Structure 1
């Protein structure tokens, strides 16, 4: 055999080179390289996804093979919300359209629960907690639907619900000085046992009571924007889903 280091020819039975003293077994161990299996498929590592691509996928991705039964159910719901939302948008705050609708009964338990949950943070947060929790519920539902179930149409419906909640609060805010709005239990803010309601107290504490009408219209405007956003988002999702029907 030939020494791999110095090239000296020698007997195959030797354990080391007679010229340079290289130990063949140690040399072989060091030079052994594990060759990859060429038949084994190469798995490419996923490229890191930037935040823009992630949000685009989260908000607008549509799965292939949409069930027509579920799709047309969503279309029907979208039409109902479109008509209902249009009625709210073109109604005045003074009409109390949102507060007199079925949705007010949906929102009311969350409003009252908010007073209980936030009472541990003081009187101001206890009063604010009702309205705050009423707004948080559709936001929480939208996040769960987006992240957990990847239901972006359901999240768009929650944005509509968020807008309706802003509209639902607007007459309450608008009544902060007048205190004539009927409250839970049949009283008004003026005739209630404590002589005020949430937003009269909140705006008095912050010094914003003279701006109650402006804040009410701002709340109604935000509600209108949320509904329009929900219509655009939900409509686009339905358009994409129609292209992916089974």
Structure 2
């Protein structure tokens, strides 16, 4: 005799159903462990533990590609030099505003005004800046979570930092209004609200802090760019380790 796992009454071993509580043993044991079945006959559950990820930003889908590794090695020094040329001239030079990347960022800036227009005048004005920052952030998340390319995701963080550098002269110009705006206007001659950061800082009571906020934007951008390139270097280091391990000769 064997005990029923539900009502604990004795049941003949050959019975498939408990005559007392009417449970079907096969169905019951499908969802519950059978302590009376020898361990060797019980279904074996295999638990797979994923190997630790190799990078601080996640798994690298291109870790084992030597061609991708060489391409990344060529890109990193270029971005290092580019960062030097954009950061070191300082805020007053507006080096980022005169680079071709400013023309890349500009459509996202203008699109931001359109996207955030339903949220009122203040958010519409801020939407240009938000558009510049959202686009590289979306690209970063796509590369990190979908494409599994931490190197590319890090370069998108670099792009976010570059946009902070691009925004800084615009903030710095809030009171002076000397920067040329779209349509040939200047902040000092355009209608109130045309210069985004003049309007934003005036409405928030921070117009006198325009230079301080611009320096903070410049500093944050530089930190993000440098940090992103450090992460790129780390990704390359881990990829080199993987390639060496795969090809020890």
> For the structure 1 residues 65 and 167, does the alpha-carbon distance in structure 2 shift closer, same or farther, using more than 3 Å as the test?
closer
- Residue 156 of structure 2 corresponds to 158
Partner of 2:91: 93
Q: Against the structure 1 CA distance between its residues 70 and 80, is the aligned structure 2 distance closer, same or farther, given a 3 Å change threshold?
A: same
CA-atom RMSD in angstroms: 3.1
Q: TM-score if structure 1 supplies the norm length?
A: 0.79
Structure 2 stretches lacking a partner, 5+ long: 3-9, 20-24, 26-33
Give the Cα–Cα distance (whole angstroms) in 2 for the partners of residues 90 and 242 of structure 1: 31
Find the residue that maps to 1:95 and give its secondary structure: coil
Residue 114 of structure 2 is matched in structure 1 by 116
Q: What's the CA shift for 1:37?
A: 8.5
TM-score, scaled relative to structure 2 = 0.78
Q: How does 1:139-178 map to 2 (within 5 A)?
A: 139-178=137-176
Distance of aligned partners of 1:143 and 1:63 in 2 relative to their CA distance in 1, 3 Å threshold:
closer
Indicate which of 70, 73, 81 corresponds to 1:72.
70
Q: Determine the structure 1 residue equivalent to 2:124.
A: 126
Distance 1:193 1:63, change over 3 A: closer
User: Are 1:58 and 1:146, in contact at CA under 8 Å, matched by a contact in 2?
Assistant: no
Output the CA distance in 1 between the equivalents of 2:59 and 2:193: 51
Q: Distance in 2 between matches of 1:44 and 1:122?
A: 56
Structure 2 counterpart of 1:215:
213
Q: How far is the alpha carbon of 1:66 from its aligned partner?
A: 2.1
- When Rg is computed on C-alpha atoms for both structures, the one with the higher figure is 1
> How many aligned residue pairs are there?
221
Q: How far 1:233 moved relative to its partner?
A: 0.4
1:180-217 Cα offsets, whole Å, 9 max, x none, are: 10112222112225574000000000000000000000
* 1:45 aligned residue: 47
Q: What is aligned with 1:182?
A: 180
- Would you say 1:104 and 2:106 are equivalent positions? no
Q: Is the 8 A contact 1:62 1:240 kept in 2?
A: no
